[in-house]
Structure formats: C-alpha cells, structure tokens
Chain A
Amino acid sequence: MLATHGLDKRFGSLVVAAGIELAIPKGARYALIGPNGAGKTTLINLVTGMVQPDSGRIVLDGEDITGLEPAMRVKRGLVRTFQINTLFPNLSPLEAVTLAVCERHGDAGTWWRSLPTYEQAIEEAYGILTMLVLGADCNRPTRQLAYGQQRLLEIALALASKPKVLLLDEPAAGVPKDESGELFKAVAGISSDITVLFIEHDMDVVFRFATRIIVMVAGRILVEGAPEQIASDPRVREVYLGRAHHG
C-alpha cells in the first residue's frame, strides 16, 4: 500500500534518513519506534511531502508520488496527524472537520454557496466528531478545548480526509498515561481498511496495537519485524537499554 525505496535525507551533515525501505501492506498496523532524534517524524515529513528527499522514491498504492505536492498526496489518501497540535484555534471542531470534508469533496473552492447548505458534509463531520467523543463540544472554538480533546481532533481531521494510509505522529503526545485511554480507543477503532503507521513511545501501546514494528536509529531502519521478534531482538534491547547509543 505504502512503500519507499532508498529514501535519503540530510540536513547539512546530519543524516536524518538513509536508505529507508518501507513496504506496508493494506490494512496493516505498523508502529515506528526509536530513540529521540532517530528521524521518525522526519520520515513522516518525507513520506507526506512536507520535506523533499535528497534521493529515493515514495510509492502509494502502486503509484509513484515522490514529486507530488503534500495536498495532492492527501487527495490520494495519504494523511497524517501531528505530534504537536496543528489545529485551527479559532475555528470550531465542526467547522474544521467540515472544512476537511469539503476539501475532499472538492467543494472548498466554492464561494457562491453558503456553508450550512452542505448538510451532508456537515453531517459527516459531525459523525466523525461524535465517534471521537467531541460531539458535545463541536461548536466551541478549538482553543477552548481541553488538551486531550485537541489530540482527538487531530485524528478527527485526518479521518475526514478518508485516508487509505494514516500516519499518526505520537497520537497521545503530552497526554498523561492514565488519560490516554480515550485516544487509544480512537486509534483502535480506526477502520481495518485503513493502513496505519504510528509513532509511539509507550511500549505497552506499541505491543498492544502493532502487527509489525519498525525500529529506527540515527536515520536508519535498525530492524523490522513482528512484535515478539522485536521484543527479543538483542540490538533493540541495546538501543533501549542505552548501552550502544552514547556517541
């Protein structure tokens, strides 16, 4: 469904991606883990087109998308969320998600029709918000929402674009562990038609949701495998116990 071939990226002398090979089948649940600075978010930026690779190719559903603008990739079903809330502070969640739905339908360039007449789009947006338990607060300005609600809205906005491949960058970043249940329930509830790649630091969560795990270190994929393989891999233990990674 989503594949990369030999993806390279340097920022000056810093190698943030080197020879990244991904091959993620449809409907899979991949976790991307690794220490801070390993290049996980950069990989998402590369795949979504927010950062241009120095070399390599990105293939979505059999089509080369390496040269496409980020917005065009979204239109083809490659959608992401952000580790740091990247929302519309003065729009309500209903407006924001309706905007994303209208973009998908190709209606967002229309200026001569009033927004409330797009009942179907609004209904759909409201449905997504209700699913993510934001229905009751859908008309408040986003900036007034609790932090955890804003994390849910990140996912709601992504779902509104009807992704084929969804890249979740630390969906629960900054949410206290005992309050992250709602978020992971939302992640678990994502349709199995959607291919998901998520970055996560909490190993309990990773082993609960992932069918495959990719471990990145210093811009390279160290190992990829099923959760039980990863759990017993000595190199991964080294990285996470910190013995090999002081340098």
Chain B
Amino acid sequence: MAVVTSAAGAPHRYLQAQTRWGVIEIMFWIATLAPFVLFPSYLVLMSQIAITALFALSLDLILGYAGLVSLGHAAYFGIGAYTAGLISKAGWGEPLSGLLIAALAAGLFGYVTSFIVVRFRHLALIMITLGLGLMLVEAANSASWLTGGADGLQGVKMWPLFGHIQFDLYGYAAYTYSLIVLFLVFLAMRRLTNSPFGLSLRGIRENAVRMPAVGAPSLSRLRTIYTISAVIAGVAGALLAQTTETVSLETLGFQRSADLLVMLILGGTGRLYGGMLGAVIYMVARDQFSGINPQYWYFWMGLLLVAVVIFLPNGMLGGLARLISRWRSAS
C-alpha cells in the first residue's frame, strides 16, 4: 500500500497537487472538440449529450459532494426549459439573457424548496424530491394555457447567438453553445469543489453529526449548494429548450430524474467527471441500442446498471481511479 507522507514544511503542496489539472482531464476536454471533425453528422446528439452532462453535473454537486439524493431533479431542469421557452414565445428570443432568466427562475424554486429538502436524508429525501417532481409535472400539465400541456410548448423561436450565429439544422451552433456553457459551468464548479466550501460539503456528506461540533452551519451550506444545483439544472433545461426550440412535459418528468440518477451512478459520484461520463455512455447507448430495437433498449441499460453497482460500487470512474492507483503503486 502506498503511504503518502507530506513533505515537512509544505503540507499544502499535497492538497495543491490534488487540485492540479491532470493529463486525462485535459484530454477529455480536447476530445469534446473531436465531434466537430470526426462526427459532424452527430452534432445534434452531441449537443444533447453536453446538456445532459451539465444536468448530471448539477446532481453530482448535491449527491456526490453533499450527500443529498434526489429523484426529482428534473423539476429544476424543466423550470429552466419552460422559462427559456416562454420568454422566447413572449417575443424575447435572445439566448444568453434567456439562459440567465431561466437560471434565476430555477434557482428561485431551488432556494424555496431547499428549506424543506435539506432537513431530510435517505428514503424520506427521495420521497420528498419525487413528490415535488410529480407535483410540478401535473401543475405544468394542468396549466396548459401557459405550457401547452401534453402537446408541449410550441412556437419557441431563438434569435442568433450574439446577434450573428444562427442555430442551424446540423447542430453546429447548438453544440458549440452547449459545450461552452458546460465548460464554463464546469470550471466554476471545479473551483467550488476544491474550495473550503466544497470541503465543508464533503464534511457534511461524511459525517453530518460532527459538522456542528466543528462549528459548521450545515443546513445553510446545504441550502446554498441545493440552490446552486437547481440553477445549473435550470441552465441545462434552458439550453435544451433553446437548441431544440420546443419544450415538452417530459423535461419535468420522473423518467428524466431517474435517468439522471442512473447516469451519475454509472459514471461515479463525487468526481464531477462521473456524471459527464455517465451522460455520454447513456446517451450514446440510447442512440445505438434504440436504433437496433427501439422497444427494448432499456434492458441493456438495466443490465449495465446492475453490473456496475455490483462490480464497480464507485462507478466507472471510481473503478478507473482504483486501477490507476494500483498501477502507480505497483510501478
């Protein structure tokens, strides 16, 4: 076993090394540019993957770092999507300001609900987030004068990005736009998770009883991260609404919340990249398997999920990290 000792006099060096950009990380982000060259006909799918990855990132913040599990996170995604769609329908199609307003709306709902959510854990928390999600779907369904109900929101029309770049049929602008937003949010969240605040979230996850005994106001910290997570989910939803120019009830639905949890578990929680990797695997698998057999493709997803949970309890990235550390200590 590799015992890591800190060099005397510079204990912060070891912590610093952990927050440094790794080669694999840089390669990952370079690889996100590859589709422009390698699969230009898949850019629409890639844009949806980037949006889903952003959504997964938002869940990882509360589940992977703070230990709050949710089966209703699509609520914030859907609010972002509907807000962005409605603003455009009302005649304001400027994407960036629309994104901002959608983020605010989702964040506001996140902040309000956080007062209930952070008081619970485990099964109770799953049920509460599930219940909130279900309520929102039906509220949106019944308010069909506003949302279009089961038919979805029609008539969303986006203006060009920065007044010049038109959203095109091939997803070129959509993927560029989604990828840039994903990357910027990722940078901010990478900083957040490496900050004292991020450390205190991990503290809450690791031992909620100890936190007050070190003087930490756990509940207000949890409310903060829950709100931030809702904002990011809202941004992801808004991106989907803006790039597809339609919003359906499905954006709020239970299936989306459940799929999101599946992606995060597949990829691995508490590493930011886990959710993104999960999103890639899930979306590509859906695209490929549903091409072979559109009815039964969930079978393979289920199989993969069971296998990962049994053999890689920390997800695929967790398994990979273990492999790398074993390889390093052996060499």
Contact surface of A with B, Cβ cutoff 8 Å: 48, 50, 69-72, 74-75, 79-80, 82, 86-91, 94-96, 98-100, 102-104, 107-116, 118-119, 122-123, 125-126, 135-140, 157-158, 160-161
Contacts and interface: CB of A to CB of B under 8 A. Distances in A.
A94 B210 CA distance: 16
A158 to B, nearest CB: 8
**Chain B at the A interface: mostly helix, strand, loop or mixed?**
helix
Contacts of B198: 111, 115
Given A70-B213, A87-B207, A90-B206, A110 B197 contact: yes
Contacts of B212: 50, 69-71, 74
16 contacts: A69-B217, A74-B214, A87-B207, A88-B210, A95-B199, A98-B199, A99-B199, A103-B200, A104-B215, A115-B15, A115-B194, A116-B13, A118-B12, A126-B11, A137-B3, A139-B6
Closest 8 CB pairs of A and B: A74-B215, A88-B206, A126-B11, A116-B16, A111-B197, A70-B212, A100-B214, A122-B12
B209 A94 contact: no
Nearest to A77: B215
B53 to A, nearest CB: 21
A108 B213 contact: no
B8 to A, nearest CB: 8
Chain A CB within 10 A, most for which of B16, B194, B213, B218: B213
B326 to A, nearest CB: 15
> What is the size category of the interface that chain B forms with chain A?
35 or more
Chain B CB within 10 A, most for which of A88, A140, A160: A88
Interface in B180-231: 191-192, 194-200, 202-203, 206-207, 209-218, 221, 224
A69 to B, nearest CB: 7
A116 B20 CA distance: 10
Chain B CB within 10 A, most for which of A90, A98, A102, A138: A102
B32 to A, nearest CB: 24
A110 B196 contact: yes
A127 B213 CA distance: 20
Nearest to A74: B215
B206 A119 contact: no
A46 to B, nearest CB: 14
Interface in B1-56: 3-6, 8, 11-16, 19
Nearest to A100: B214
A126 B6 contact: yes
A100 B215 contact: yes
B15 A116 contact: yes
A89 B191 CA distance: 23
A95 B5 contact: no
Contacts of B13: 116
B216 A94 contact: no
A80 B215 CA distance: 11
Contacts of B12: 116, 118-119, 122-123
Contacts of B214: 74, 99-100, 103, 157, 160-161
A157 B211 CA distance: 11
B206 A89 contact: yes
A118 B6 CA distance: 16
Contact of B213 (A80, A98, A140): A80
Contacts of A95: 15, 199, 202
B25 to A, nearest CB: 15
B7 to A, nearest CB: 11
Contacts of A74: 212-215
Nearest to B195: A111
Given A88-B203, A108-B216, 17 more contacts: A50-B212, A72-B215, A75-B215, A82-B210, A87-B206, A91-B202, A91-B203, A99-B196, A103-B216, A108-B197, A110-B196, A115-B19, A115-B196, A115-B198, A116-B16, A119-B12, A139-B6
